[in-house]
Structure 1
Amino acid sequence: MEIVYVYQKKRKEFGRQPLFGDRPPEVTVHLPSDPALADNYVERNPMNVEMQAAPEMSEHEINTESIVMANQGIQHTEGGWPKDVDSTDVEHTLRYRRKVEKDEEYTRVVKTLSETLEHCIKQNNAIDIYDEYFASVKEELNTDPPSAKTLNVYRDPNPVKRTASCLSWYPEDGNRIAVAYSSLAFQQTPLGMTNESYIWDIENPNQPDQSILPSSPLVCIKYNPKDPHILVGGSYNGLVAYWDTRKGSYPADSSTIDKSHRDPVTSVAWVQSKTGSEFFSTSTDGQVMWWDIRKLAEPTETLWLDAEKNNRIVGGTVLDFEPTMPTKFMVGTEAGLVAMCNKKAKTPADRISHTYPGHLGPVFALQRNPFFLKNFLTVGDWGAKVWSEDVRSPLMATRAHTAYLTDGCWSPVRPAVFFTGRADGAMDVWDCLFKQSAPTLTVQVGASPIHALRVQEHGKVVAVGARDGSTTLLELSDALTKPQNGEKAMFSQMLERELKREKTLEAAAREKRLKAAQAKRPGSSGSAGKQQVDLVALLAELEANEQVQAANADFFKIIEEEQARLAKQQQANANAASAAAVASAAAAAAAGESA
């Protein structure tokens, strides 16, 4: 490839045209030598000096304008067939191929090309079997501190800014990201707000790659893992719709208003099926609905979220579905509970097998660990928790933050790493093998609260959506993306150890509560079955009271720590002010004495 350098300069900057000619030498200045200055110099012989009349210049490149790239598609139709052959007819094309293959020229050309191809393949495969090519290559432990840097920021192009409420990565190579924009404040939709959501090319932050036009602002969006051209989204008015990016910005089909959710659709998830066209959704109206994009007129199945089986419906906030468990799924609710559900249960009452009392507020994030499917992560109120299906208490929990946690997810490449987003605009990276009391890395993404957090499939890039409509891409360092030696085994041992400890504590607490309940009800009349039912009810009441008391204790402990910190800061400010006053008084006294 030829490299060409072009230097451009205006004609007026060249100056006057130089005219050269022959002329005899003449003396312009004569400076006689001073013998007294000879002692200041040292003679160097020989002496070589290079002189250049032109000033020295170096090449410099600068680009002050942003490059705007646009992608355009073309429709390719098969060509190259003779006029007498119909390319749409399979028999015609097959007959013509057979005719060409029998031609001697065709055989000669294929043989010539195969010889060239075989020669290239043999060159690529020519290695010395006695040479150790990778003997010196050793896997070195990465000692660099964890870090993250900003790659791009994609801002909502509309004048009325909205929240980037949900993110979904392109499933094949992660070169695009779909962002759903909506205003989540109840009945506070600003005037002039558009319903558009966008698909961004990660290499072009200047303008969206494609628009998505729903009938109502999208709250959630999800790519189809089998067909990357298909997206499904849930709207603020309760409708669900799907888009085919090859057919334009308008939805290919949408549900009807009378058969849809009654509240905003908070989460959607694709179901593992042969057709790849089934998904399900949840909403704060307390329903989970199953859909098929081939017929979106009405849901194929509906489940009411009666999590505690007391005829009290709770709203759903987030879904989690693991393809290797086709009948099981989990739902996070507004009440802070995580419901473990089974679609193939014998009776509707058995669809919700049990619940986990996760948080004091809504569950904003729920995801299974991609390496250990029995363990899952929940994010809500002021902390994040790691759970196991076998116990109803968390195995690990982060400390209570001063800011609300809004989203979280696991790393797809490291089993012990997960991410959380906070309402103060910061993202925390937790490495459970390194430490559990504090995050390994905290990145201040911006001043606006974080609302959505998704990691690319390769684990190198994190997309962060904020309330001001901006979506920031962060590139993680190798310390957060390359697994350590034996990390999976060590994290598995940690989870097993915590699971055994929780089971032991849970059994001891249950036995203690049963003994206390029996002591409080001595000689109660009635059958043994009724006594057992009463004991179970009393046990549930005691357990609920203990959870409330523990939550209250944690809450007031945080308040006391914050008050102590503020009092300490005020005392330090007062001491500094008094010291400054004493210093100024001493300076004034010294000035009076000198006067």
Structure 2
Amino acid sequence: MNEYEYIYMKKRKDFGRYCNFDTVEAKILGQVDHQPQCGDMYVEQTIINAVFHNIPEFSEHSVNTARVKTSARVMTHVEGGWPKEIDYSEAQDTLKYRKRLEKDPAYVSAVRQLTKQTVPCLEMNNTIDLFQIYFQDEEPDHMPEILNLKTIALFKDPPDETRSVTKIGWHPEGPTKLVGSYSNLRFQRMSEDMPMSSFIWDISERNDPLMELRAPSPLICCQYNQKNADWLLGGSYNGLINHYDLRKGPSPCMKSSVEVGHYDPVYDVVWLQSKTGTECASVSSDGRLLFWDVRKLSEVQDECVLNDGNKEHPKTLGGTSLEWMQEAGPTKFLVGSEHGIILSCTKRPKKQVEIGSWFGSEDRGGYGKHFGPVYSVKRNPFHVKFFLSVGDWCAKMWMEELKGPMLQTPYYPAFISAAGWSPTRAGVFFLARQDGRLDVWDYFYRMNEVALTQQVSDRALTCFNVQAQGRLAAVGDAGGTITLLQLCDGLVDPGPNEKNLIGMMLDRETKREKSLDQIKKQGGVARKDDKDGAGGMTIDKTKYQEREKAFFTELNMTGDDLGTTLPAR
């Protein structure tokens, strides 16, 4: 006789809700009196374990899911699925093919069909009761007024000698890697045995660097190529430009020559948008903005001498920072100088590079320049005509059509060394201070005070960079440590209509500054017409010096020559 067995399959959600067990007190249901004479009726045996239960057994059983047998197997991954005319090793060809494929209506319908198949898999074993309150005692984690920065990793400089982190560059393909440039900017304290290497870090591996970048001179800046992630561009302390190809090793595959390179340290470099992806620019304190092609670093493609705009006796201005953004115009460059002035340069094809504006220069009709070198110039990624600069104890916001700053933060007790905009929120920017604190300003909610201040390090902060997705931020300090911070949702997720509201606010401030400039010009004409000079403005030098001395005393700065006692970067 053949025996048949049938197993019924059910989903977990078909069983209903989970049993709700409660704790109750013990109760006596019955009592049997002790009778010793009953023991003579039984024969003593070895003690055994027996298990009893009151669940009846039937031939039909219910199971959740069928058992799946797993086994480890080796799989070889080979790039495939591309048409014959597409070379999958070329990133540019594959990117163009993907963009063309995404516009195909068949691709959209295929994705929707796959989505329908994945929905039942996601809903499997879903037993949530829609009428039960699961989060009654919990509050939402992220509110606009509750902001925080979480430290998730520390990357310390491996050498024993203390060096500063001068620049940080993020990997273009996501928050996986970052490159840190290490150098000692106090040049007179630089020892002969100071290490020359910089390092690439993996955010998931915090003990040892992923790769070492070797250079004959310490790297002050280093950036990834946005098209080819294996290429890096580094500027050295000795003025040379180093081109790295990570596929060929940790040493630079090509370097600029001493005859045509910078004469002073290269403070900033940028990759330019081009068909080949090989063009770049660099700025140095020797007062030159140079344009290169990494395929031929033996010669300079173009050059711009940074000056103060005086036609009779031009004065060279050393460059300390460089900003270029494709959205603002491929020919526009912003250069921060050692004299606290920001220069706007224009590079047109087959023409000499021209300096169009001097922001903050009093000789060029501007005002409000910084009292120290402009360490950072950053354009707003949503409103590219507006940019942020730091170079003393405050941060200033500028507009391309104005010669002076339109907005300014209050003066801090410590020098500001770096700044950066949020790539996801139009009204948020960050300021790194030399007392080890990081300030977050949120103009979408308030403009009169800092939204968040956090102590990041005990040493002075030297550089700052936000990852392209806006979730992670890296901060470098003077002790050679890179602190990786995770931003809360309030600093990442944009507010309702934030981009348009911030744009309206910036336009309002621009109109206000233009009106004030017009009033000043009218006042200047009136003073010229006053022959007696009754309408002129006089400044009491004694009161001016007293106020200036009180200002520096409040900042704990004393000395005869206050201009030379600025904190060293």
TM-score normalised according to structure 1 size: 0.67
Asked if 1:368 is matched to 2:385, the reply is: no
Counterpart for residue 456 of structure 1: 467
Counterpart for residue 155 of structure 1: 156
- Aligned 8 A contact 2:142 2:488 in 1: no
Asked if 1:213 is matched to 2:207, the reply is: no
- Aligned 8 A contact 1:307 1:352 in 2: no
SS at match of 1:513: helix
Instruction: Assess, with a 3 A threshold, how the Cα gap between structure 1 residues 550 and 166 changes in structure 2: closer, same or farther.
Output: farther
SS at match of 2:503: helix
Q: Aligned match of 1:342 in 321, 341, 346?
A: 346
Asked if 1:169 is matched to 2:152, the reply is: no
Counterpart for residue 355 of structure 2: 352
Find the aligned partners of 2:437 and 2:546 in 1 and give their Cα distance.
27
Counterpart for residue 482 of structure 1: 493
Asked if 1:313 is matched to 2:316, the reply is: yes
What do residues 337-396 of structure 1 show as CA deviations (whole Å, max 9, x unaligned)? 011111128975x81111111311110110110000100000110000111111112121
Counterpart for residue 68 of structure 1: none
SS at match of 1:517: helix
Paired amino acid for 1:244: D
- Aligned 8 A contact 1:265 1:284 in 2: yes
Find the aligned partners of 1:549 and 1:247 in 2 and give their Cα distance.
64
Find the aligned partners of 2:444 and 2:542 in 1 and give their Cα distance.
31
The alpha-carbon deviation at position 490 of structure 1 amounts to 1.3
Q: More helix by proportion, 1 or 2?
A: 1
Asked if 1:426 is matched to 2:437, the reply is: yes
What do residues 269-326 of structure 1 show as CA deviations (whole Å, max 9, x unaligned)? 1111111100010100000110000000121111100133341001001011111301
SS at match of 1:266: strand
Q: Aligned match of 1:440 in 451, 454, 463?
A: 451
SS at match of 1:491: helix
SS at match of 2:187: coil
Find the aligned partners of 1:405 and 1:499 in 2 and give their Cα distance.
25
Alignment of 1:117-136 (within 5 A): 123-124=117-118
The alpha-carbon deviation at position 174 of structure 1 amounts to 2.1
Instruction: Assess, with a 3 A threshold, how the Cα gap between structure 1 residues 385 and 345 changes in structure 2: closer, same or farther.
Output: farther
Alignment of 1:375-386 (within 5 A): 375-386=386-397
SS at match of 1:194: coil
Find the aligned partners of 1:410 and 1:476 in 2 and give their Cα distance.
13
Alignment of 1:430-579 (within 5 A): 430-520=441-531, 555=548, 558-559=551-552
Instruction: Assess, with a 3 A threshold, how the Cα gap between structure 1 residues 496 and 43 changes in structure 2: closer, same or farther.
Output: closer
SS at match of 1:314: coil
- Aligned 8 A contact 1:368 1:374 in 2: yes
Counterpart for residue 325 of structure 2: 322
Paired amino acid for 2:215: P
Question: How many residue pairs end up in the alignment?
Answer: 430
The alpha-carbon deviation at position 558 of structure 1 amounts to 3.9
SS at match of 1:231: strand
Find the aligned partners of 2:542 and 2:348 in 1 and give their Cα distance.
37
SS at match of 1:502: helix
Instruction: Assess, with a 3 A threshold, how the Cα gap between structure 1 residues 436 and 247 changes in structure 2: closer, same or farther.
Output: same
Asked if 1:236 is matched to 2:237, the reply is: yes
The alpha-carbon deviation at position 549 of structure 1 amounts to 12
Paired amino acid for 2:335: V
SS at match of 1:226: coil
The alpha-carbon deviation at position 47 of structure 1 amounts to 9.5
Find the aligned partners of 2:434 and 2:229 in 1 and give their Cα distance.
32
- Aligned 8 A contact 1:141 1:484 in 2: no
Instruction: Assess, with a 3 A threshold, how the Cα gap between structure 1 residues 431 and 261 changes in structure 2: closer, same or farther.
Output: same
Which blocks of at least 5 consecutive residues in structure 1 are unaligned? 1-41, 49-75, 81-88, 91-116, 128-134, 523-538, 564-595
**Greater gyration radius:** 1
Instruction: Assess, with a 3 A threshold, how the Cα gap between structure 1 residues 551 and 408 changes in structure 2: closer, same or farther.
Output: farther
Alignment of 1:1-16 (within 5 A): none
Which blocks of at least 5 consecutive residues in structure 2 are unaligned? 1-24, 32-75, 86-110, 122-129, 132-139, 361-368, 557-569
Find the aligned partners of 2:188 and 2:553 in 1 and give their Cα distance.
36
Instruction: Assess, with a 3 A threshold, how the Cα gap between structure 1 residues 297 and 345 changes in structure 2: closer, same or farther.
Output: closer
Instruction: Assess, with a 3 A threshold, how the Cα gap between structure 1 residues 352 and 47 changes in structure 2: closer, same or farther.
Output: farther
- Percent identity at matched positions? 35
Counterpart for residue 292 of structure 2: 291
Find the aligned partners of 2:30 and 2:255 in 1 and give their Cα distance.
88
Counterpart for residue 255 of structure 1: 256
Find the aligned partners of 1:79 and 1:488 in 2 and give their Cα distance.
41
What do residues 506-548 of structure 1 show as CA deviations (whole Å, max 9, x unaligned)? 11011111221343599xxxxxxxxxxxxxxxx9xx9xx99x9
Root mean square deviation of aligned Cα: 3.5
TM-score normalised according to structure 2 size: 0.70
Paired amino acid for 1:123: Q
